[in-house]
Structure 1
């Protein structure tokens, strides 16, 4: 058994837009409290590193575990999803294949909207949540930073993110294309999270509409947005009245229960609702003839007119990913030697101290140059490290021999 392979038992498990519709994805979507529950339960299972990537397109968990089943259980037992649905529609990637997938996701190549640049911000938020719960180690930190680096380079060195490459931008483009005289319509934005803020910015920038109202449970956050873009802010208690007089509603909330029901909808005028929530915060039936609801899956189709142009840059993006991914894999390859090198170094220091003690007991006094002795130890371990890197096919055998000869304590040096 190779005990030095840091990539063994690393998994990605998830469910995404590729196989699951919006309703099904909503079942597996996780609230912040559910994410924290997964992190805590994972820690209780002696899992040291977990990252939960939860977006409108997908719910994924990245982690080391004894088996992928352990992580699938964490997801199904702490969401409204179930094992049978996951078995039919979910996916599992392992080791290098898992790393490939995370790079594709983080750089927008696997997004429903090709080149989506919002995903990297969501990945950073996921990283910070895991770090706050002490479930990020050197592996996951290095991996996340590598994906961020690849994302930045792709965005600056290619044009794959040109056009409608975010949910917020696609939503506003849909409104512009589908609604006549949009600058004179009453627009209500509900929610001031990242997507809500981006949608608001795009509405102001591209529609020249002066009749935009924003509502949020936290009025303070809504007022920050209102001040920035010079738009009207209403208290959350006024939401029913604002819905009734709206021509366009953009819903970008993260509520646990639906906010919009049949009884809140206008009886006569037409209403367009752009639903950017998952699970959906809308609960209306087909009897509402004058209401049109457009969800995330519908919005992905608006990008088709620019998709063929952006697809041209996929080879460039993949080349950048391959370069940075190889650097990460090399780091993993070199990192697996670290415990053995640290253990060897400490063993040599122990032997040095033992020899010094023995001579002192024998001769009464010992004169030696400690810096010279330490330099010799550094040279020996450095030479060993160089051999391992230059002879990867012999590395495991060499480390096993050193471990056997010196009885190295590898576990305490990981």
Structure 2
């Protein structure tokens, strides 16, 4: 039984194929429940996101996993086989750790994947199809991801527009808890800006959007973290003065924030500084605003250069993270081997105990029958020694017959070391 990782991601498959093999939580829950009754493949975890679908399983071979993934999605096995990647044992463990750490993500170092992998494990556990061995591998991968996050900078630099705006606000203003933020338009980009700033702990967020319904939807998503107020789009200019940070991304063909309006807002604010971010193309904010004292204006190109620089930092940190993952994989494999050796040693000891009890019973029976006790005990000692050393002797002979003598030399060296330790006089107390 081996540990396999098999799947498709943004590097190996088109969006169409990834959509075809993706699982929603409800369907996956039903499929995993059905697997609990199967003989061949009933120890598995399925990770399914917009950029990847992967199956991690204890199985006899990778083809079992491939056929399950193909059949459950109605795809020809040969077609799917051209796009899947397969990893086994050590390589599979390394891949899982890299995925959980964000090292294999489309956006290097993104943190959401760890939560998604944890959810996948929980779903499989609910279906009762996760062995202790498989669970331990995942828990160690979570430990690895935590180490990568806390001990490297792979996730510490902003590589999305929304996060970059939040980090920019931290650079311009020292106390985020006193900031009022205005997002002009409540689309996807500004929604991310609002969420990041809400998590950062700003005092208030003003949402100015043409559609009240869209504004209310965003307000509901962040209201548990920050005070929110919805402003009619027609009242944008007269409310500019209230905002320390303004992020605009309307998609309008014309500028929506004029130079004169910002100048008037500054005067009303008694020239307290403002951070204005224009995420729109064409631009929402009159470029002349940049000439006003107290206004910091950033556009898409400005932020993109910051993101590119930060992505370079992440890539540099990823080298360190990869080394760490390799070390942790080695630690886990070593731990597993020690555990397996412990089981083998226990079996060997039990075998020795059985032999000992058998020879002892035979010796006692001979003594009770009247044979000389000293002769019987000498025979007992000789026979037991032969039986206990028989497995070791076979292993040594087989190792000596191998073409590569290194294994035999290693065994001989270790046995001689044990003999040397036994010959040393014990410390007198």
Q: 1:27 matched to which residue of 2?
A: 20
Q: Equivalences for 1:49-198 in 2 at 5 Å?
A: 49-79=43-73, 82-164=76-158, 169-170=160-161, 183-187=182-186
1:244-255 to 2 correspondences below 5 Å: none
1:227-269 deviations in whole A, cap 9, x for unaligned? 3333479xxxxxxxxxxx9xxxxxxxxxxxxxxxxxxxxxxx9
Contact kept? 1:107, 1:154, Cα under 8 Å: yes
Contact 1:12–1:61 (Cα < 8 Å) also in 2: yes
Q: Which segment is superposed worse, 204-213 or 80-89?
A: 204-213
Q: Match for 1:336 among 329, 336, 340? A: 340
Looking at structure 1, the residues matched to 305 and 351 of structure 2 have their Cα atoms a distance apart, in angstroms, of 62
CA distance in 1, matches of 2:55, 2:305: 27
TM-superposed CA distance for 1:213, in Å, is 4.1
**Partner SS state of residue 115, structure 1:** coil
Change (3 A) 1:176 1:358: closer
Residues 194 and 205 in structure 2, CA contact (< 8 A), matched pair in contact too: no
CA distance in 1, matches of 2:24, 2:323: 35
Cα pair 2:10 2:51 within 8 Å, conserved: yes
| Secondary structure at 2:135 match in 1 | helix
Which one of the candidate residues 320, 323, 327 is aligned to 2:324?
320
Tell whether the 8 Å contact from 1:34 to 1:79 is kept in structure 2 after alignment.
Answer: no
Post-superposition offset of 1:199: 7.2
Distance 1:13 1:231 in 2: 45
Tell me the CA shift for residue 330 of structure 1: 0.6
1:62 is displaced (CA, Å) by 0.8
Take 2:15 and 2:167, find their aligned partners in 1: how far apart are those partners? 24
Question: What is the CA-CA distance between 1:123 and the residue it aligns to?
Answer: 1.4
Q: 1:156: how far off?
A: 1.8
Q: RCO (CA 8 Å, sep 6+): is it higher in 1 or 2?
A: 1
Question: Are the structure 2 counterparts of residues 204 and 163 from structure 1 closer, same or farther at C-alpha, using a change threshold of 3 Å?
Answer: same
1:174-232 Cα offsets, whole Å, 9 max, x none, are 9999xxxx93424267xxxxxx9x8763153589742274649xxxxx96853333347
C-alpha contact 1:10 1:65 (8 A) present in aligned 2 = yes
Q: How large is the Cα RMSD of the aligned pairs?
A: 4.7
Aligned equivalents of 1:31, 1:353: Cα separation in 2:
58
CA drift at 1:45:
3.2
Measure how far apart 1:352 and its partner are: 6.9
Call closer, same or farther: CA 1:337–1:200 in 2, change over 3 Å. Answer: farther
Q: 1:175 to 1:22 in 2, by over 3 A?
A: farther
TM-score by length of 2: 0.54
Match of residue 29 from structure 2: 36
Give 3-state SS (helix, strand or coil) of 2:324's partner.
Answer: helix
Matched residue SS, 1:93: strand
CA distance in 2: counterparts of 1:304 and 1:343, whole angstroms: 58
Q: 1:174-253 to 2 correspondence within 5 Å?
A: 183-187=182-186, 201-202=195-196, 204=198, 209-211=205-207, 213=215, 215=217, 226-231=223-228
**Other structure's SS at 1:309 match:** helix
| Worse-matched range after superposition: 48-57 or 302-311 | 302-311
- Tell me: CA distance 1:232–1:136, structure 2 relative to 1, closer, same or farther (3 Å): farther
The normalised TM-score by structure 1 is 0.56
- Are the counterparts in 1 of residues 164 and 307 from structure 2 also a CA contact under 8 Å? no
Q: Which runs of 5+ in 2 are unaligned?
A: 169-180, 208-213, 235-249, 254-281, 283-303, 369-387, 396-405, 412-429
1:11·1:63 contact (CA, 8 Å) conserved in 2?
Answer: yes
